[in-house]
Amino acid sequence: MSPLIDQVVATARESVALRLNQGSSGNISARAGGGFLITPSGRDMTALAAAEIVAVGMDGAYPEGAKPSSEWRFHRDLYAAFPEARAVVHAHSPFAVALACLRRDLPPFHYMVALAGGMDIRCAPYATFGTQALSDAVLAALQGRRACLMANHGLLAWGGSLAGALALALEVEALCGQYLRACQTGEPVLLTAREMAEVLEKFKDYGARD
């Protein structure tokens, strides 16, 4: 087994430890060669074995008998649309799901929203899991962004590494929680387009982002 497969398994397990996922919810992938490696369908993330990680081609082909995540389509389409993407984390985390069930974008209530690449974090319209319609909706929400919410579903984040994608997913989940708590007290004061533009400019040199 390759080190990258081991990293996908480790990231899947970590997503549960970080409470981004639970049981068999969510999925993880990493670009590999002319395709990608993805977690299998319907498996408890904490019980994954390296042999269960599935190699999927950009044409959607995978080995006979293998069971890739039902969401493999938006992973494939994301890698095709964003050449710089090396890993994808999809999570059913509590706060992101709660906000996604309201079908609301995450507005610029906090400057860290810019970490996803834009002035806000969009919520993709609802479509049935595993469908091309969902992939199309997600790709539209990700234009100019590295993360999005998925209506009545969860969140998705991509990065230049598995660690980077996981870290961004964790940040988006934290932001969703902060925003929902702020909304319980009143209407959060949003940063202006100018203020967010300044943050986006600063984030170009912010740490070792991937």
- Active-site residues: which are they? 71
Residues 106, 176: contact at Cβ < 8 Å? yes
DSSP-derived secondary structure letter, 106:
B
DSSP-derived secondary structure letter, 191:
P
- Please tell me the distance from the alpha carbon of residue 165 to that of residue 25, in angstroms, as a whole number: 17
- Please tell me the distance from the alpha carbon of residue 112 to that of residue 170, in angstroms, as a whole number: 12
| Sequence-distant contacts of 177-185: CB under 8 A, at least 24 apart | 177/94, 177/95, 178/109, 178/110, 179/99, 179/106, 179/107, 179/109, 179/110, 180/95, 180/98, 180/99, 182/109
